[in-house]
Every structure is written in C-alpha cells, then in structure tokens.
Amino acid sequence: MGSLDGRVAIVTGAAQGLGAAEAVALAANGARVVLNDLPGPHLDEVADRIKTAGGEATVHPGDVGDWSTGEALVKAATDTFGGLDILVNNAGVLRDRMVFSMSEQEWDTVVRVHLRGHFVTTRFATAYWRDRSKADGRPPYARIINTASEAFLLGSAGQPNYAAAKGGIVALTLATARGCAKYGVRANAICPRARTAMTGDLMGPPPDGPDPMAPERVTPLVTYLAGPAAARITGEVFVVHGDVVAVLGPPTVRAAFHAVSGRWSLTELDAALSTVFTDDPPRPGFVCEDTLPLAASTFGETSRDA
C-alpha cells in the first residue's frame, strides 16, 4: 500500500526537522529523493543517512524562493533519477512579531520562503507533469504534499506573516488540485504539529520518554499521501501529530440575508447583521478552534502531550 519503489521525490527544507524526517521516510519506502535546503552540512548528513540505510538521495541546495531553484530541482530529479513523481514542500522560517511591530523584511522573508517557495516548486513540477501528460497521452503519477499550519485556522496573533503565508498555501493547494487534476496531480496540505528547531521555543523541551510531537509521527501521513493508495485524495487539508490525523471540512455559510428592496441600505444591513454579531467585546468569528482539543495520546508512563 505504501510502497514508493521507483518513485522520485523532491523534499524542500530537508536539512533537519520535519523535512529531514519526511525525506528519510520516503526513502525508506523506496523513493529516490532530491533533498533541498540552504547550503550547509546538515543536508549532506540527511543524504548520508538515507544512503547508509540503502536508499538513494541526491543533494541540491538553494533558496527555495528563487525561481532558478525551482527549475533546477525538477531538472535534478529528471537528470539524476529519470523523472519526478512526488513533491513535498516543507521549507519555512519564522519571524514572529505583532502586526503593528513587524518590519517589512520580517513580512517579506516569511511570505517569500513559505508561500513563494511553495509556488515556485509547484509551478515547475506541474509544468513537468503537464508536458508528460500530453506526451504520454495519459496522466502521470503526480503527488504534491504542502505544509500549512493551524496558525492560519486560528489567526495566530503574534504570527501575522506566518498565518497569512500558511493560509495562502492552502489556497494554492486547492487551486493546484482543481487546475491540474486532468494532468494526474493530487495536491493536499497538512497542518503538522512537530517539535523541531523552528518550533522548539513554542513547544518547549521534549519529554523524557517517547515524544508524541516528534516529526516522525507526521511522516506516515506524508508517505501515504505520496503513495498509490491516495489516488482519490486531492484538495484536502489534514491536521496531523502524534497519533492524530484529522481531515478538515470546508468553511460553511454562517448566515445569509437578502435585501427586501433588492438593494441594501445601511439601516437594513444593521438590522440584519446585528442579529448575528452580538458579542461585546467582539471576537473574530472566522476562526477554527475545533483542532485545538486534538491531543495526541501519551506513549508510556513518562511521556506527556505538548
């Protein structure tokens, strides 16, 4: 069910944390992996780890926000391994600050790495699959797993850049799933909770025993979505951590009104909307807090939830 034998995958942000765990898991299931991150020794260490375990990996460092990096990653996959079947977008950074204190650079850096980085790789991967579909006369094997976050569901107050980028990634995922379905593309997004170098300050230190927030707890879902059994899953958003996998439903219409005269007046709008918005002080309504109670089970007597 989960075999990826012969498949070729690109994983961004693969030098450490969730991206490294995903790359190792994909390789363990038979995929040949192109590893991307900024230049540094950790990327080679992940490649060595995969090769030592009997897998295949190649390293292609670069800034995922650069147009040339996206193009080069697809070329590296096709030149080294003869094709591309799976794209896992994971690269990201944090620059947390309240919106009224955030600098232009803090906004641009986070949106560039997360949202633009997802777009750049998606652009070249889908172009490759579209060409393959036309050349072969049938849709190719094509999987995209994007990394969103519950921050976009909650509107994280101290992360307006991150929340906005992650919301954009979900929208990009849905647009990709719709626009590229006829070319065989299955695109889904995950909202993972994982204790990594990037999230360590938020989640705190790991427990003494098995860690329910370990990145490896996320990788089974990523491997599954990359695999053949997920052929009917596309345009979906998952929350995943520990032993939890939750499928999010689409937004719903909370209330709808029609102007009696066919054209709204301010008085009529007030009469209609004041029946809905009654909280004082007001609180954001377009927020999904249903995922907050999803706690991972403990693993052993000494472990605890994050």
Report the DSSP pairing between strands 185-192 and 142-147. parallel
b/e map 282-306, b = 16+ CB within 10 Å: eeeeeeeeebeeeebebbeeebeeb
Catalytic residue among 149, 156, 183, 303: 149
CA–CA distance, 150 with 237 (Å, rounded to integer): 10
Q: Please name the amino acid found at residue 160.
A: P
3-state secondary structure of 190: strand
From the candidates 141, 166, 183, 303, which is the catalytic residue?
A: 166
Report how far residue 110's alpha carbon sits from residue 103's, in angstroms, rounded to the nearest whole number: 11
Q: Which of 156, 162, 183, 303 is catalytic?
A: 162
Q: Alpha-carbon Rg of the chain, whole angstroms?
A: 21
Active site residue 166: yes
3-state SS assignment for residue 244: strand
Pairing outcome for strands 237-241 and 142-147? unpaired
Are 47 and 58 spatial neighbours (Cβ–Cβ below 8 Å)?
A: yes
**68 included as an active-site residue:** no
Question: Active-site residue numbers?
Answer: 149, 162, 166
